[in-house]
A and B are shown apart, each in its own frame.
Chain A
Amino acid sequence: MSLGLLLRLGIGLLVLAFFAYRFYGVLVRGAYGAETWARLAISGLIIGSVYAVIALGYTLVYGILFMINFAHGEVMMIGAFAGYFVLEAFAASGFSARQPVLAIIITFLAGMTVSMLVGISLERIAYRPLRGAPRLVPLISAIGASIFLQNAAQLMFGSMRRTYSNPPALERNVGWVLEVAGKPVSITYTGVLTFAFSVVLMVGLYLLVQRTRLGRAMRAVAENKEAAALMGVDVDRVIANTFAISGVLAGAAGVMWGLHNGIIYHYVGFIPGLKAFTAAVLGGIGNIPGAMLGGIVLGIAESLTPAVLDMPFQLKDVLAFAVLVLVLIFRPTGILGEVLAEEKV
């Protein structure tokens, strides 16, 4: 064992011990009741499922191009805006009140379609011309595209915060009330919708990748582009499709974000994008189940860790990233990450 590894593991163990010590204190004092833990776990699960859906977009693109699409959060933001405008129109015309289910479905379709188109254009304009360039070059292009999309959204939509007008049947912060240890714990309708639709998207994506012709082609391209081309796969088309799929996922996440959290603005994709990227790394970048697991773990971590450590809730982001560092100390390739070696010849 090298000194560096020992040092790394030592730091990891120290941090773990500190966490355990704080958590022990919280438990002994009974600082939080069961209902608080339940509330935090539920909200972590919901936000985690959104992270997971966004993280899939990072991991799909990374798996095929070995590139982090830093503009992915902005693709989500554009989808959130598309959904917002559709929902505004529906609310104004009264359609939301009359046909809430249809209104929500159309809102999702609009967000997903617009984000898909943004994803496809992004690849065509910002990444395809750089195919074959050193890996750092498309990365810079991605950061540029991210800033471009933020500013374009600001120019088009202004920089004020806008509130999603949910249909009356899907009000925010309204839902079922469970009783935990004699205290009420609410589960919001938007939260249930978000979690359920995320699961549907994840299962759908998994089946697409594992069972369809396109999925097989994606896996083949991810492994070896030249060999895939020799099989008759149009590699450029598969890459474009991958961006389309990751755009669809980001658009769905954007609409879920709007419906559940309520507020959107031109910068709304940045933090969720960063968190989802973190989630993808946490799960093992390039690994599809890893991105799902990483998203859920990160969501729960950011929700529970402040309470576990008895620290202010405002520190949730810091603590979530501390969890990332901790996981990477013990598993540098992520929870489900394989060793990213080149294929064996």
Chain B
Amino acid sequence: MALLEVHNIHTYYDHIHALKGISFELDRGEIVALIGANGAGKTTTLNTISGIRHPREGSIIFDGQPIHHLPAHEIVQLGIAQVPEGRKIFSRLTVMENLDMGAFTRRDRAAIQEDLERVFKLFPRLKERRNQLGGTLSGGEQQMLAIARALMARPRVLLLDEPSMGLAPILVESIFQTITEISQQGMTILLVEQNANMALSVAHRAYVLETGRIVLYGPAAEVRENPQVRAAYLGEA
């Protein structure tokens, strides 16, 4: 059984039908990429899983338990953490406080300390800047902080929304390297990206989203070879 199963979800913004029946699943330990153009419904999909939005139809099953009716804060507690689009770090909180917010639902102090060491090993820059306000970090550092903050929840599934957005190519490279590293430690990752090339190079499987529907899916390598995908998302004629 898959760790996360999304069955035929329909999500609306008032009268706008944003997701028109999306189904996919995530197996333990894999990286699944969700690619598509602006407005295809990628972020809406993540927010529906996270409980920021609720589907009007369909179900989301996490580890055998339906979660689509739960509020966002309970979904984090069950083990699904999101790195939101645009990072959304708390700019008036220090780096340390941001990380503490990541572990907000946890009470296991010793394990939190362990996780703190782990994310500082993953992102030594954050350790140097632990007492700085989040808003004073550079874009790349903010992305690191956003990922580190989500890891502090010790999630079983990590939802990443556009981790490459607004970053210089060299930083994109290093962020994706980190994502691979996190995955190798056993994390299950759902990766939303406009940078399809990058996403397909690290993912195991991929789904292509177009105006609220999944139009194509398969192993990442196959999706990458699909002529339509090459034309539409990889910038190749």
Report whether chain A binds chain B.
Answer: yes
Q: Interface 1/0s, chain A 231-268, versus B by CB < 8 A?
A: 11111000000000000000000000000000000000
Chain A residue contacts of B135, Cβ below 8 A: 343-344
Q: How large is the interface on B (under 10, 10 to 19, 20 to 34, 35 or more residues)?
A: 20 to 34
Contact of B104 (CB < 8 Å), options: A219, A233, A345: A233
CA distance A144 to B88 in the complex (A): 35
CA distance A289 to B76 in the complex (A): 33
Shortest beta-carbon distance from B158 to chain A in Å: 12
Indicate if the CB atoms of A231 and B93 lie closer than 8 Å.
Answer: no
Indicate if the CB atoms of B52 and A226 lie closer than 8 Å.
Answer: yes
Is B71 in contact with chain A by the CB < 8 A criterion? yes
Minimum CB distance partner of B91 in chain A: A343
Indicate if the CB atoms of A220 and B84 lie closer than 8 Å.
Answer: no
- The total of interchain contacts (Cβ-Cβ below 8 angstroms) comes to 68
CA distance A231 to B104 in the complex (A): 6
Is B97 in contact with chain A by the CB < 8 A criterion? yes
Minimum CB distance partner of B88 in chain A: A227
CA distance A217 to B90 in the complex (A): 11
Shortest beta-carbon distance from A345 to chain B in Å: 5
Is B172 in contact with chain A by the CB < 8 A criterion? no
Is B72 in contact with chain A by the CB < 8 A criterion? yes
Is A271 in contact with chain B by the CB < 8 A criterion? no
Count of A interface residues, CB-CB < 8 Å: 20
Contact A219-B149, Cβ < 8 Å, known A229-B52, A231-B76, A232-B105: no
Q: Interface 1/0s, chain B 58-77, versus A by CB < 8 A?
A: 00000000000001110011
Indicate if the CB atoms of A224 and B88 lie closer than 8 Å.
Answer: yes
Minimum CB distance partner of B166 in chain A: A345
Is A216 in contact with chain B by the CB < 8 A criterion? yes
CA distance A343 to B89 in the complex (A): 9
CA distance A233 to B76 in the complex (A): 9
Shortest beta-carbon distance from A290 to chain B in Å: 14
Minimum CB distance partner of B51 in chain A: A229
Is A230 in contact with chain B by the CB < 8 A criterion? yes
Indicate if the CB atoms of A223 and B73 lie closer than 8 Å.
Answer: no
CA distance A125 to B99 in the complex (A): 34
Enumerate B88-146 residues with CB–CB distance to A below 8 Å: 88-93, 97, 100-102, 104-105, 135
Contact of B84 (CB < 8 Å), options: A216, A223, A227, A232: A227
Chain A residue contacts of B153, Cβ below 8 A: 231-232
Is B81 in contact with chain A by the CB < 8 A criterion? yes
Chain A residue contacts of B149, Cβ below 8 A: 231
Is B82 in contact with chain A by the CB < 8 A criterion? yes
Minimum CB distance partner of B101 in chain A: A231
Minimum CB distance partner of B93 in chain A: A219
Is B21 in contact with chain A by the CB < 8 A criterion? no
CA distance A344 to B71 in the complex (A): 27
Is B86 in contact with chain A by the CB < 8 A criterion? yes
Shortest beta-carbon distance from A214 to chain B in Å: 11
Shortest beta-carbon distance from A97 to chain B in Å: 48
Minimum CB distance partner of A217 in chain B: B104
- Contacts A216-B101, A232-B72, A233-B104 given; 9 further ones with Cβ under 8 A? A219-B90, A219-B97, A226-B84, A227-B90, A229-B52, A230-B84, A232-B104, A234-B73, A343-B135
